[in-house]
Chains A and B, each alone.
Chain A
Amino acid sequence: MSNLLSKITITSIAVAGAIVSAYYFTSTPGKDLAATSSNSAIAQDTAQATLVSVWDKETEADYSGTTEMTVYRSPTCGCCGVWVDHAQKHGFKIEDIKTDEMEALKQKHNIPPELASCHTTIIDGYVMEGHIPADDIKRFLTEQPDNMVGLAVPGMPIGTPGMEAKDIKQPFQVLAFNDKGEVEVFNEYESY
């Protein structure tokens, strides 16, 4: 008699335990909390020196064409000046004109709106619109492709000369365009 009773007792306790555990595990949904609240300081790697640009490399060493160019830019644009530095590094002599009349200027030079960038460069009567690598300008001026009135890198792709940022290198094209606004791909940079 006592053996039977203790078997029942043990079984009952086991079942009760199972019910209690079931209650415990089902009663609070969404228990996983893996959010990190980073309200505390995180050391930033500020030891990194000023960026060295991939555009400092020279590929048109034998360039013997015009080096005088006029750059028109808005007085307050934060990236045009950096492109001017790039052009100077590659041997161009810059006449730097800051103007508030950029829109009128682009219209005067018939730059199609979809090819526009922030600054406009005029060299040898050709239009160089935007953050174009200096070596592409040199090659264009050497080759002087038929009917083309200039080159453009539309917009401000991050990673182009004067637009270098630490982790971002957007693929971009250098477009040659004619006076009708028709374009041809003059150079393409998928990676650099």
Chain B
Amino acid sequence: MAKLNRRQFIALGIGGAGIAVAGNWLRQKTIYSQPVPQSSANPAPVYQSSDGLLELDLEARERLVDLGNRQASLLTYNGQSPAPRLEARSGDKVRLHFTNNLEQPTNIHYHGLHIPLTGNADNVFLEIEPGKKLTYEFQIPNNHPSGTFWYHPHLHGLVAEQLFGGLAGLFIVRGEDDEIPELKAAQEEFLVLQDFSINADGRRTNSAHMSLMMGREGEVIAVNGRLNPSIALAEGGLLRLRILNASPSRFYRLALEEHSFYQLATDGNSLSEPIEVNDLLLTPGQRADVLVRGDKESGKYRLLNLPYDRGSMGMMGGGMMGGRGMMGRDNRDEPMLLATINYESAVESMALPSRLNSISALPKPHTVRRFELNHGMSPAVGMAFLINGEPYRHDLIHTQVKLNTIEDWELINTGVMDHPFHIHGNAFQIISRNGQPEPLLAWRDTVLVKRGETVRIRIPFRDFAGKTVYHCHVLDHEDLGMMGNLMIEA
């Protein structure tokens, strides 16, 4: 062995250390999932997992963005609203390096994902102060359904405001359903429905003037951050629309001129076979995947938002309060134009899939609980939204259940407004509405309970124990008390 003197030894040591540092730095840079540019109706980038990992930086901040024919100051993730789409496969690990550059505290809820409820996963009790960072980290279970899920803020008291500001993005789980040949062949488009209220100077309207009791609605309705975008449909082909209602209060009753929808999935969960519907009602939080057949005469067809009365009454702003326009009035009277489908060059005729995923009805429940939904005066807080007569309190566990059990929850809306009920962490099946058995066997995480209606759902509490919540997904109702803490005990 050649003899090394001290000088040579030290020089080699420093050189080696230097190489180690440089190598580590380079390795860090390439490990993050790179954004993939997109085309067509959805211009926002997509982050896809690779080698079993989805890792990215996510920043919440206010930014001036293009909204239709003007600029608006919106709350964005990574400068965009809707936020970049995230895609992962079941079994993947997800690592999200989140920075809060808003002026308020915030956090993130992964709506519909069946992942841990504690730690740095789908934990809505986390509070990330302005300027601070948090790394969200979780694994998507191996048998997770492939479907359309989403992410948005969930800090109680600020949820409606932050979602209405524009903080919402799709989280797609890729898997078996995407491999079904007819779905693979179809043209896939994502539609994120949002509404905004923007002043003449591009700033977001102050909530003091909004209908908080009804739930705030905005006069600007955007699809993927754009007004009336064009969506191409090949003549003879299939268009797979994956639709998210990311509005805090507005319901959308969708219909496509002269075309029906073939629904494939509810709230990110596949149906057992496609079902034909003429219109589709989506409450805030809900998703629907549908197929559209290019089997009509070539041309342009409007995707409309049809009127639907969710119990609205004289939405504040009916001609007063600085004349913000007839907020909410539109939904009651006239259809609104959301997007336009344009037929394009013909392709070989595509068939609908005959079967999708198999769904089994859940077995009988261990327990039945009742949840009465309304608003009213509550001693300590005054007017509030209530579940079983009580508004939300941080320090109580309102409902306690056991892991690996199944329960029936009877949701009874005794009030004058529609309430879409959402439970974190586990999907459920609808058993009946007003005593009538539900004909469609499907998994959902958000169910509409209309005013005066009783809906019975069956929910299995699987895999993950911990404290989470259930609430009305008209987020002003949630912020004003229509929420409860749910403890799932191992």
Contact = CB atoms under 8 A, between A and B. Distances in A.
A158 interface: yes
B17 A16 contact: yes
B453 to A, nearest CB: 12
B18 A79 contact: no
Interface residues of B, number: 67
Interface stretch (B146-154, B381-389, B422-430): B381-389
B486 interface: no
Contact of A185 (B20, B125, B213, B320): B320
Contact of B313 (A29, A82, A117): A117
B393 to A, nearest CB: 6
Given A30-B135, A79-B383, A12 B21 contact: no
Most buried by A among B315, B318, B466: B318
B214 A156 contact: yes
B382 A166 contact: yes
Interface string A69-84: 0000010111100100
Given A156-B213, A166-B381, A168-B212, A20 B314 contact: no
Contact of A78 (B127, B332, B376): B376
A61 interface: no
Contacts of A36: 126-127
A48 interface: yes
A3 interface: no
Interface in A1-34: 5, 8-9, 12, 15-16, 19-20, 22-23, 26-27, 29-30, 32-34
Nearest to B313: A116
Contact of B321 (A34, A117, A168, A173): A173
B444 to A, nearest CB: 25
Contacts of B34: none
Nearest to A114: B318
Contact of A50 (B99, B128, B374, B379): B379
Interface stretch (B6-14, B60-68, B454-462): B6-14
A112 B134 CA distance: 50
B123 interface: yes
B415 A76 contact: yes
A118 B416 contact: yes
Contacts of B329: 113-114
Contact of B386 (A78, A112, A115, A163): A78
Interface in B331-347: 332
Given A30-B133, A158-B212, A113 B383 contact: no
A43 interface: yes
Nearest to B320: A173
Contacts of A27: 24, 28
A147 interface: no
B384 A165 contact: yes
A19 B14 contact: yes
11 contacts: A38-B125, A39-B118, A113-B318, A113-B332, A115-B318, A152-B314, A156-B313, A158-B212, A164-B383, A171-B321, A183-B319
Interface of A: 5, 8-9, 12, 15-16, 19-20, 22-23, 26-27, 29-30, 32-39, 41-46, 48, 50-51, 74, 76-79, 82, 112-118, 129-130, 152, 154-158, 162-166, 168, 170-173, 175, 183, 185
